Chains A and B, each alone.
Chain A
Amino acid sequence: MEHDFGLALLRTRFNDEGFPTKTSEEQEEVEERVRHLYQLFHLAMEVDPEEPKLDAQKHILFLRKYLRGLPSKYECLDASQPWLLYWICHSLTILREELTPKEKSEVAQYLALCQCPDGGFAGGPGQNAHLAPTYAAVLALCTVGTEEAYKVIDREKLAQFLRKVRLPSGSFVMNVDGEEDIRGAFCALIVARLINLSLSSDIFCNTAHWVSQCQTYEGGFGGKPGLEAHGGYTLCGFASLALLNAIHLCDINALLRWAVMRQMSFEGGFQGRTNKLFDGCYSFWVGGIFPLIQKFLSKKATNSILDEHWLFHSQALQECILICCQTSKGGFCDKPKVPADVYHTCNTLCGLSLAQYEPLSESAEYPIAQIHPFINLEVSRLRNALEYFYALPQVA
């Protein structure tokens, strides 16, 4: 491809075709904010051709500050404390920043307090077990990656918890008496895969079939059969099928079309649903779908593009993350003019890592680590965790 500085020739503004609606007005408003940033970026690039840059040090400071303590606006995530630890630790790992042995131990001990006596992890000490914090806690512990951390997980009891939240249909509720949706199957499967629970056990009977029913006429997956296709749920659904060796149950060409269409023509980032606004967090949810689709398609494809490039525009996504989502005070945000938070920091960094580790990329431009696309652990942490848990006897 010819070099298009700042992708000015590529970007296309939204066209309301003389028929404005609420959707088009909101879209144009966001594009205006983004346009302003890209303009500033062009000016900056004239001075410093290295732009746009990842300010890793600033993000590390931001994350380290939050590892010590979070401001009170995070009260609403009191029932998601393992998530907070996962987002922070995983982000630091992507930025190649090692936790101290003391910090590792403290994270492991805190997550041990979140583990429930009857199995599974809760959103905080004294709360009930729930699949989302269970997923987050196991991933955080694998990210910490010490024997102390691995040993926190009571695998037998975790399997018992999974049996309590599975439904005969093959889907899962998130907690006892809680809501049912596709996140449940995904969280259960990822955790089971990591800590060596048998994926062919009764726990996942019918799960592949139930998940495949969540694929919509648009090609993406919804939270439940009938619901609108959505970036987060699509990664959950497709990854679940992959873990169950059941990709053949979905229409992969429709999925690919839906996924490529999520990239915004002007912003370069991904939206989560058709005709919605872009949000930095979908850099991971939607970006993470591609490696898996391409791996599957390349088995039967006749051309090599699948083994060389992502089918989304990698440079456009990276510029969007660095120019529109990176904040000057450290951390990343959903879209311009919104404050940074640890969730968006983690998911944009994951997206950045995915985009940079394009199959044929010569060397990483930025000092960031590679992640596994849908298990979402840094690759060496994943390898170590699998080595540890697969040396133990499998839990049926």
Chain B
Amino acid sequence: MSAATEMDDKVSGLRDHSSTEDLSEESVLIRDCPEFRDVEPTPQFEGHAPVASIAYSESFKDAHDYLRSLLKMGELSERALKLTEIALNINAANYTTWKYRRDILRHLGTNTLEEYDYIKMMIPDNAKTYQVWHHCQKILEWIGEPMDILEFIEEVLKQDSKNYHAWQLRQWVLLHFKFSGTAEEIAFVSKMIEDDVRNNSAWNHRYFVIHTLSEFTDAVFSAEIDYTISKIKLATNNESAWNYLRGTLAQKGQGLTHTEVEKLTELLYSRGCRSPQVLMFMADKLREDCEKADASDDIGEKVRLCSELYEVLANKWDKIRCRYWTYLSQEFSAEFGSRIGSNEKTEVAS
């Protein structure tokens, strides 16, 4: 490669770089704005050798040097508000800038509805940043009504159906504004589960709606068990559904015992299903039966079956967790091993 073409490459590389920077900036530097002519910028590093210092871009340094100055002066003004917007566009994870922005908004008494539109615009590009979601929550608190936030969250969840912050804000909104329309919320979450039966965030939300927002009646309990069973039949090793089932049963306080659930595991097992989730539930249920049994009850068969399940989980169906299954098996044997029929004792793996 000749020196000339090498140079060309470098220059065009630079040009590419600067043109993308121009696009992302969309505005001139603060130091060139007449509005800020009276402000002396405050650099981050003063007299110290910075370690692990970030190679900040010009626009980043420019905005934040001025922001530091205004913050130090405690200036609560329109131009400061504008500056926070520029800085947050560059780094939406700066909690100090967001707090400053709220201080300015409080002071100026700015239209909170406009701020609500602004934060909705900011969230999609920063959907994994704590601060944008928190700001949204604060603004809703100020407005005092939920606006169209539930629809907005639904839109965000279309992009990322497991976005933790989105589900978190949703729970907060439902609690804070004392939502009574749990039927609608159940319909929403059923649709989410319909879209992806393995979406654990949706299952968790269902649990929240059922147990925190509504009354957990016997009818609700039965309906939830039926619903979960129908979903387990679609994908028998779906941990989300099994966990939900366990959680729902636990709320009833009767352990893992339930006729319909027992029918389900029997059906699946007899059809040859060896999903670890199914075997795991069966083992836990047998163990629970043994724990509940009186000293005089004959639990030999249950002890044998449970030990066998632990054994096949450890050595065949769920080998990655072999230590865990061995641990449970050993604990179980220590407690119930002596209650197995004496003629069968030798068959059981320890």
Q: Which residues of A contact B (CB under 8 A)?
A: 1, 9-12, 15-17, 19, 21-24, 66-72, 74-81, 84-85, 88, 103, 106-107, 109-110, 113, 122-128, 130, 174-179, 216-219, 222-224, 226-230, 256, 260-261, 263-265, 268, 273-276, 301-303, 305-306, 309-313, 316
Q: Which residues in window 60-101 of B have CB below 8 A to A?
A: 60, 64, 68, 71-72, 90-91, 93-96, 99
Most buried by A among B56, B72, B320, B331: B320
Q: Which residues of B contact A (CB under 8 A)?
A: 42, 44-46, 48-57, 60, 64, 68, 71-72, 90-91, 93-96, 99, 102, 130-131, 133-134, 137-138, 161-162, 164, 167-168, 171, 195-201, 204, 207-208, 212, 234-240, 243-244, 246-248, 250-251, 275, 318-324, 326-327, 330-331, 334-335
- Are B72 and A126 in contact, with the CB atoms below 8 A? yes
Q: What residues of chain B lie closer than 8 Å to A130, measured between beta carbons?
A: 95
Given contacts A17-B237, A227-B164, contact A265 B331 (CB under 8 A): no
Given contacts A228-B201, A275-B199, contact A263 B48 (CB under 8 A): no
- Are B102 and A177 in contact, with the CB atoms below 8 A? yes
- Are A79 and B200 in contact, with the CB atoms below 8 A? no
- Are A75 and B235 in contact, with the CB atoms below 8 A? no
Taken together as a complex, chains A and B put the C-alpha atoms of A106 and B48 apart, in Å, by 8
- Are A79 and B93 in contact, with the CB atoms below 8 A? yes
Taken together as a complex, chains A and B put the C-alpha atoms of A140 and B25 apart, in Å, by 34
Taken together as a complex, chains A and B put the C-alpha atoms of A302 and B330 apart, in Å, by 8
Given contacts A107-B51, A275-B198, contact A226 B56 (CB under 8 A): no
Closest 10 CB pairs of A and B: A217-B247, A23-B198, A228-B204, A303-B330, A274-B200, A179-B134, A302-B334, A127-B96, A21-B196, A79-B94
Q: Can you list 30 A-B pairs with a CB-CB distance of less than 8 A? A: A22-B161, A69-B53, A71-B54, A72-B57, A78-B64, A78-B91, A79-B96, A106-B49, A109-B49, A122-B96, A126-B44, A127-B96, A177-B99, A179-B130, A179-B137, A217-B207, A217-B247, A217-B250, A218-B204, A218-B247, A222-B204, A223-B168, A227-B171, A228-B167, A264-B320, A276-B200, A303-B334, A305-B326, A309-B323, A311-B321
- The chain B residue sitting closest to A99, CB to CB, is B51
- The chain B residue sitting closest to A268, CB to CB, is B320
Q: What residues of chain B lie closer than 8 Å to A107, measured between beta carbons?
A: 51
Taken together as a complex, chains A and B put the C-alpha atoms of A306 and B331 apart, in Å, by 11
* Complex partner residue of B320 from A24, A174, A263, CB under 8 angstroms: A263
Given contacts A263-B320, A274-B240, A305-B323, contact A66 B52 (CB under 8 A): yes
Q: Smallest CB–CB gap between A64 and chain B, Å? A: 11
- A-B contacts besides A175-B95, A179-B137, 13 pairs, CB < 8 Å: A10-B320, A22-B196, A84-B52, A110-B51, A126-B44, A130-B95, A177-B102, A216-B204, A224-B168, A261-B239, A264-B320, A305-B326, A313-B323
- Are A72 and B55 in contact, with the CB atoms below 8 A? yes
**B interface SS class:** helix
Q: Smallest CB–CB gap between A38 and chain B, Å? A: 14
Q: Smallest CB–CB gap between A2 and chain B, Å? A: 11
Taken together as a complex, chains A and B put the C-alpha atoms of A66 and B302 apart, in Å, by 59
Q: What residues of chain A lie closer than 8 Å to B234, measured between beta carbons?
A: 17, 19
- Are B243 and A178 in contact, with the CB atoms below 8 A? no
Q: What residues of chain A lie closer than 8 Å to B68, measured between beta carbons?
A: 126
- The chain A residue sitting closest to B244, CB to CB, is A217
Q: What residues of chain B lie closer than 8 Å to A174, measured between beta carbons?
A: 95, 130
Q: What residues of chain A lie closer than 8 Å to B321, measured between beta carbons?
A: 260-261, 263, 311-313
* Complex partner residue of B94 from A24, A123, A125, CB under 8 angstroms: A123
- The chain A residue sitting closest to B133, CB to CB, is A179
- Are A310 and B323 in contact, with the CB atoms below 8 A? yes
- Are B236 and A17 in contact, with the CB atoms below 8 A? yes
Given contacts A274-B200, A311-B324, contact A70 B94 (CB under 8 A): no
Taken together as a complex, chains A and B put the C-alpha atoms of A127 and B68 apart, in Å, by 8
- Are B44 and A124 in contact, with the CB atoms below 8 A? yes
Q: Smallest CB–CB gap between A368 and chain B, Å? A: 21
Q: Smallest CB–CB gap between B292 and chain A, Å? A: 16
Q: What residues of chain A lie closer than 8 Å to B45, measured between beta carbons?
A: 125
Q: Smallest CB–CB gap between A277 and chain B, Å? A: 10
Q: What residues of chain A lie closer than 8 Å to B243, measured between beta carbons?
A: 217-219, 274
Taken together as a complex, chains A and B put the C-alpha atoms of A378 and B250 apart, in Å, by 40
- Are A75 and B57 in contact, with the CB atoms below 8 A? yes
Given contacts A15-B237, A217-B244, contact A312 B48 (CB under 8 A): no
- Are A313 and B322 in contact, with the CB atoms below 8 A? yes
Given contacts A223-B164, A227-B164, A263-B320, contact A21 B197 (CB under 8 A): yes
Q: Smallest CB–CB gap between A268 and chain B, Å? A: 7
Q: What residues of chain A lie closer than 8 Å to B133, measured between beta carbons?
A: 179
Q: What residues of chain A lie closer than 8 Å to B199, measured between beta carbons?
A: 21-23, 275
Q: What residues of chain B lie closer than 8 Å to A66, measured between beta carbons?
A: 52
- The chain A residue sitting closest to B90, CB to CB, is A75
Q: What residues of chain A lie closer than 8 Å to B322, measured between beta carbons?
A: 1, 313
* Complex partner residue of A305 from B42, B90, B327, CB under 8 angstroms: B327
Given contacts A227-B168, A303-B331, contact A76 B96 (CB under 8 A): no
Q: What residues of chain B lie closer than 8 Å to A126, measured between beta carbons?
A: 42, 44, 68, 71-72, 96
Most buried by A among B167, B246, B327, B330: B327
Q: What residues of chain A lie closer than 8 Å to B50, measured between beta carbons?
A: 110
- The chain B residue sitting closest to A102, CB to CB, is B49
Taken together as a complex, chains A and B put the C-alpha atoms of A19 and B238 apart, in Å, by 11
Given contacts A12-B320, A16-B235, A303-B327, contact A70 B130 (CB under 8 A): no
* Complex partner residue of A228 from B64, B72, B200, B319, CB under 8 angstroms: B200
Taken together as a complex, chains A and B put the C-alpha atoms of A71 and B53 apart, in Å, by 9
Q: What residues of chain A lie closer than 8 Å to B171, measured between beta carbons?
A: 224, 226-227
Q: What residues of chain B lie closer than 8 Å to A264, measured between beta carbons?
A: 320
Taken together as a complex, chains A and B put the C-alpha atoms of A224 and B168 apart, in Å, by 8
